[in-house]
Homo-oligomer: A and B are copies of this chain.
Amino acid sequence: MVTITDVARRAGVSPSTVSYALSGKRPISDATRLRVQAAVRELGYRADVGGRARGHRSGVLALAVPMRSGIHVPVVTQFAVSVVTAARAHDHDVLLLTQEEGEEGIGRVAETGLADGVILTDVQLQDSRLPLLRSRSLPSVLIGLPAEPEGLTCVDLDFRAAGELCVEHLARLGHRTVALVGSPPEVYVRRTAFARRLVDGFTSAADRHRLTSTVHPCGTGADAARAVAERLLRELPALTGVVVHNEPLVDPLLDAFEHLGLRVPGDVSLVAVCPAPVAATARTPVTSVAVPSAELGTRAVRLLIRKLSGAPVPGTTLLPPRLTQRASTAPRGV
């Protein structure tokens, strides 16, 4: 293994000079810096983690991801990939924590100095991990919005605005009776923040526009889709606008309507809240508000890195939703 002392010898300077030349924490003459850099290259030197950690920076970011039902896998994977990519761009690595570990994982990471900071996903309204984050001084960024985000750094899609945007799109097309097909019930039971916020936005926009509306959680699978579709139409025979916030249900729902003799968008308009690729590659391309998983991951990393550098960061960042019109929505009665 090549140490900082090896580099120092090779460059004809002291170890500390090498350290400073590399970290830039104090001015070094161009001449020596160049010699140091050359020595580093020639020897293939890389700072050992153990030593560096004394300087209180492991260069690692922890990412806590959920792995339980009701969470859609591709979204999580998108987070992970974008987080790793962004972290690498800032010269950091990523340690993967599963949510199952919960507080324990965060505690371990914080106390052993394994990671410099942590990014949490799948944040609940009352998240059990938040007290830990507030008490320990472990820098953190949440992807998601808890009930009381004061003092925390959060980034998320503005799901409330997303719900409103969907309704407004349908209202503008003349639809008067709308339904929201939501996530599986357990998501609401756990009080996952984003699901509730979407419902709020949906409901309040529907009220504002004086639309008749209803909300149904829904599990996944063709049977569940068929069941909600039937229930919806029984309950609201005048239904012509549907918002679906349940990624794996988009295709089954399209099938279900077709099966009931309803054409999309001829008889029913459908707008989905889901990752853009899902909407674009559905059986019928679906008008959608995109969940920008990759951007959320990238933003979270940027915020955390800034936080680690001591710079001030905004408390909550809500990305504005954007609706992309595709083939699944049309004016009512056309």
- Interface, chain A (partner B; CB < 8 A): 1, 44, 46-54, 58, 60, 63, 67, 73-74, 76-77, 80-81, 84-85, 88, 93-98, 100-101, 108-109, 111-114, 221-222, 281, 283
CB <8 Å contact, A98 and B81: yes
User: Which residues on the B side are within 8 Å of A114 (C-beta)?
Assistant: 49, 60, 93
Chain multiplicity (copies): 2
Determine if B53 and A221 form an interchain contact, defined as CB atoms under 8 angstroms apart. no
Cβ-defined contact, A48 with B95, below 8 A: no
Contact of A113 among B49, B60, B73, B97 (CB under 8 A): B49
Instruction: Give Cα A109 to B108, complex, Å.
Output: 21
Q: How far is the CB of A64 from chain B (nearest CB, A)?
A: 11
Contact across chains for B96 and A283 when beta carbons are under 8 A apart: no
Nearest-CB residue, chain B, relative to A220:
B281
CB neighbours (8 Å) of A81 from chain B are: 67, 98
Query: Can you list 10 contacts pairing A with B, beta carbon distance less than 8 Å?
Result: A44-B111, A49-B112, A50-B51, A50-B53, A67-B81, A85-B98, A93-B95, A93-B114, A94-B95, A95-B95
Residues of B contacting A97 in the complex (Cβ-Cβ under 8 angstroms): 84, 93
Check if A111 sits within 8 Å of B53, measured CB to CB.
Answer: no
List residues of chain B with CB within 8 A of the CB of A73. 73-74, 77
CB <8 Å contact, A221 and B76:
no
**A83 CB, nearest partner CB in chain B, Å:** 8
Min C-beta distance of A111 to chain B, whole Å:
5
What would 7 more interface pairs be, CB under 8 Å, given A46-B112, A67-B77, A84-B96? A53-B53, A77-B77, A81-B98, A84-B97, A93-B96, A93-B97, A222-B283
Q: Does the CB pair A221–B77 fall under 8 Å?
A: no
Question: From residue A255, how far is it (CB to closest CB) to chain B in Å?
Answer: 9
Chain B residues lying within 8 Å of A74, measured Cβ to Cβ, are 73-74
Instruction: Report B-chain residues with C-beta under 8 Å of the C-beta of A98.
Output: 81, 84-85, 88
Question: A44 to chain B: which residues have CB within 8 Å?
Answer: 111
For the complex, what is the distance from the CA of A63 to the CA of B80, rounded to whole Å? 13
Q: Are A96 and B63 in contact (CB under 8 A)?
A: yes
Smallest beta-carbon distance A7→chain B, Å: 13
- Which residues on B sit within 8 Å (CB–CB) of A51? 50, 53
The 6 tightest CB contacts between A and B, nearest first, are A50-B53, A46-B111, A96-B96, A67-B81, A94-B96, A49-B113
Chain B residues within 8 Å of A58, by CB: 49-50
How far in angstroms is the closest Cβ of chain B from A93?
6
